[in-house]
Structures are given as structure tokens and as C-alpha cells.
């Protein structure tokens, strides 16, 4: 079984930052969301955190929508972002019982059926809803070993914290560059690997380009490449925010026989599933990241 190396925090983070986050992470939910209301005001009204980026992304993605509707989505997004920040910190103390109430996979039978067949597969997700809680909840409800890929954070302290939270229920966080190695070295157990499909590629020399939310967009071709190489089926897991602090995920097999598709065809299926997920509830996608900073050169 593959074991990823746990990052090490810096001393200053442990002494001055983590105790503050620990206190926040141990607040009861009703107090946590009152704090969320305050953070929304700070992000949206006071500091205007990346507000130009968010509005630009929304305008380019939904050119058919009126400005008033875009502003409404923008405001709802910042409310969700404030909650998401605190819910991620809440991962420090959240219990399995709390997660089972607040993060439900409606189609858990898909995972169970694959496990009964002793069959590994790839899960593709997006930055919709609360993907951190999905990672946390995955291992308690899944019989197979869950491998969650991630990108290293530049801050050592926060990188250590996120690894610690993601692995607290025995899911295995793996750096995205070690995904294939982790899967191959975990062949002694039935496993499932979760990949975030809408990351912005840092290197666009080997990516898949598609029209996504009305814009030419570069996508990692990792999910398609790994699935083709290993012959693994592909599953898409979409998220929905039911109400504040409560999420549901829906699991759908999108490619059962990967040999019948090219890498490009598989990538395009993922792109369309991701776009449809965002269109269903646009305010819960991560609009403040610089998704379209790379432009295609023809």
C-alpha cells in the first residue's frame, strides 16, 4: 500500500496561527455561521476580495445574463465562499456523525457496486460545493481505499494543515504529480482515486482545450490519460448545496469502457459534465480563482 509523505509545518505557524484556527474550528455551527456572516461583509463589502476577477469571470461565462442577475450570483458566491472558508477550518474538529448529516452521497451504491466487483475506478470532481468535506466523508462511507489528489500550497503551515484534515478519517492525500505512482503501488487493495478536473493547468504545453462557459479553456488531461493507461472506468461526482452547511453529491458513471474512447473524447465528456454542474447552481463554484489566465495561441 502506498504511503504519501506527510508535509511538515513551520514552527511559527504552529505557535501563532494554528491555535487561532483550532479555536475557530471548534466553534459550534450556529456560532460558526454567524462568523461567516461577518466574513462575507469583510470579503465582499470591505476588502472587495478579487471582486473584479469574479465579476469578469461571470460576465464572460454568462454573456446572456443581465447585470442585475450577475450581481445576484456574485453576492451569493461571496456568501458561499465565506461559509466554505469556515467549513474547511471546521474540518479540524468535525466528527463523522456531523459529516454524515451534512455531506451526503446520494448514489453511494455506485461505489459499493464497484467494490463488490473488486474494480478500481477514477472519480472526477470540480470546485463546486464543499469538496473538502467530500474528501473527509469519502473514507467513512466507502469500502475501498480513497486516494485524494491535491496541489501543494505555497505556505508550509497551511499545506500541513490541509493534509492533516484530509487524512483524519484515513483517506490518502497524494500530490497530483504522484497520482499514477500511488495508484500502482496501492494495487494490493481495492481503491478509488478522486481528481479535481477544473484546476487551472500551470503548464499548457500538454492540455486539452475546449469551449467551457463560453470561453476557450485549458483542462488537465490527467483523468483521461490515467483512465486510458490503467483501463479504469470514470465516474463524475457533482455537488449541490441543499442549504447552508448541507451538501449532496451525485455519482454517475460517465465512461465505463475507456477503450471505446480517445483521451480527447473522455476529456470532452468531463468538460461538459463540469459545465452542466456549474450551470445548475453557479453560485457554489470557485469564481475567484484565475481560471482563464492562460490563452490559447493558434
Query: What's the pLDDT score for residue 201?
Result: 86
What mean pLDDT value characterizes the chain? Answer: 96
**Number of domains forming the structure of the chain:** 1
What pLDDT, in 10s, does the model give residues 2-39? 878 899 999 999 999 999 999 999 999 999 999 999 99
Question: CA-CA distance, 241 to 283, in Å (whole number)?
Answer: 10
Residue 106 in domain: yes
Domain membership of residue 141 as a residue range: 11-284
Is 1 exposed, middle or buried, given 0-12, 13-18 or 19+ CB atoms closer than 10 A? exposed
Query: What's the pLDDT score for residue 297?
Result: 77
| Beta strand segments in 116-272, E | 121-125, 145-150, 172-175, 191-196, 208-212, 215-219, 234-243, 246-255
Do 102 and 246 contact (CB within 8 A), yes or no? yes
Query: What's the pLDDT score for residue 132?
Result: 97
Residue 295 in domain: no
Residue 294 in domain: no
What pLDDT, in 10s, does the model give residues 169-225? 999 999 988 999 999 999 899 999 999 999 888 788 889 999 999 999 999 999 999
Residue 293 in domain: no
- When pLDDT is averaged across residues 159-178 and rounded to a whole number, the result is 94
DSSP bridge pairs for 252: 236
In the predicted structure, residue 136 carries a pLDDT above the cut 70: yes
How many CB atoms within 10 Å of residue 72?
A: 13
SS3 state of residue 262: coil
- When pLDDT is averaged across residues 131-154 and rounded to a whole number, the result is 95
Question: CA-CA distance, 10 to 281, in Å (whole number)?
Answer: 38
Among 130-134, 161-165, 175-179, 285-289, the least confident range: 175-179
Among 192-196, 232-236, 283-287, 292-296, the least confident range: 292-296
In the predicted structure, residue 252 carries a pLDDT above the cut 90: yes
Question: CA-CA distance, 2 to 184, in Å (whole number)?
Answer: 8
**Residue 103 is inside which H or E element, if any?**
strand 103-105
What pLDDT, in 10s, does the model give residues 73-121? 999 999 999 999 999 999 999 999 999 999 999 999 999 999 999 999 9
Residue 127 in domain: yes
Question: CA-CA distance, 73 to 61, in Å (whole number)?
Answer: 12
Query: What's the pLDDT score for residue 256?
Result: 97
- Going by pLDDT thresholds of 50, 70 and 90, the confidence category of residue 298 is low
> Does residue 281 come out as left (phi exceeding 0), alpha (psi in the -120 to 50 range) or beta?
beta
The DSSP symbol for 106 reads T
Residue 296 in domain: no
The three cell numbers locating residue 209? 482545450
Residue 292 in domain: no
Do 178 and 222 contact (CB within 8 A), yes or no? no
Residue 1 in domain: no
pTM, rounded to two decimals: 0.95
Instruction: Single out the residue of 129, 181, 125, 165 nearest to residue 7, CA to CA.
Output: 165
Question: CA-CA distance, 73 to 161, in Å (whole number)?
Answer: 31
192 alpha-carbon distance from chain centroid:
15
Amino acid at each position: 500500500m502506498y504511503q504519501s509523505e506527510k508535509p511538515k509545518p513551520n514552527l511559527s505557524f504552529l505557535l501563532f496561527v494554528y491555535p487561532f484556527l483550532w479555536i475557530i474550528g471548534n466553534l459550534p455551527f450556529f456560532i460558526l455561521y454567524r462568523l461567516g456572516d461577518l466574513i462575507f461583509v469583510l470579503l465582499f463589502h470591505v476588502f472587495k476580495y478579487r471582486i473584479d476577477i469574479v465579476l469578469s469571470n461571470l460576465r464572460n461565462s454568462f454573456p446572456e445574463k443581465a447585470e442585475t442577475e450577475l450581481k445576484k450570483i456574485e453576492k451569493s458566491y461571496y456568501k458561499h465562499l465565506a461559509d466554505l472558508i469556515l467549513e474547511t477550518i471546521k474540518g479540524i474538529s468535525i466528527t463523522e456523525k456531523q459529516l454524515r448529516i451534512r455531506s451526503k452521497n446520494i448514489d453511494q451504491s455506485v461505489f459499493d457496486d464497484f467494490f463488490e466487483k473488486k474494480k478500481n475506478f477514477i472519480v472526477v470532481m470540480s470546485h463546486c460545493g464543499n469538496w473538502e468535506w467530500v474528501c473527509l466523508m469519502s473514507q467513512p462511507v466507502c469500502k475501498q481505499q480513497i486516494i485524494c489528489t491535491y496541489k501543494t500550497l505555497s505556505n508550509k503551515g497551511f499545506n500541513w494543515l490541509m493534509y492533516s484534515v484530509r487524512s483524519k478519517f484515513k483517506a490518502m492525500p497524494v500530490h497530483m504529480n504522484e497520482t499514477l505512482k500511488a495508484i500502482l503501488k496501492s494495487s494490493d487493495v481495492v481503491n478509488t482515486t478522486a481528481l479535481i478536473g477544473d484546476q487551472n493547468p500551470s503548464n499548457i504545453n500538454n492540455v486539452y482545450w475546449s469551449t467551457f462557459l463560453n470561453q476557450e479553456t485549458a483542462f488537465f488531461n490527467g483523468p483521461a490519460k490515467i483512465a486510458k493507461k490503467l483501463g479504469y472506468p470514470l465516474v463524475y461526482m457533482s455537488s449541490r448545496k441543499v442549504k447552508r452547511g448541507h451538501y449532496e453529491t451525485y455519482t454517475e458513471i460517465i465512461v465505463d469502457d475507456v477503450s471505446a474512447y480517445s483521451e480527447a473524447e473522455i476529456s470532452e465528456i468531463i468538460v461538459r459534465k463540469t459545465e452542466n454542474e456549474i450551470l445548475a447552481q453557479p453560485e457554489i463554484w470557485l469564481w475567484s480563482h484565475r481560471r482563464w489566465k492562460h490563452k490559447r495561441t493558434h
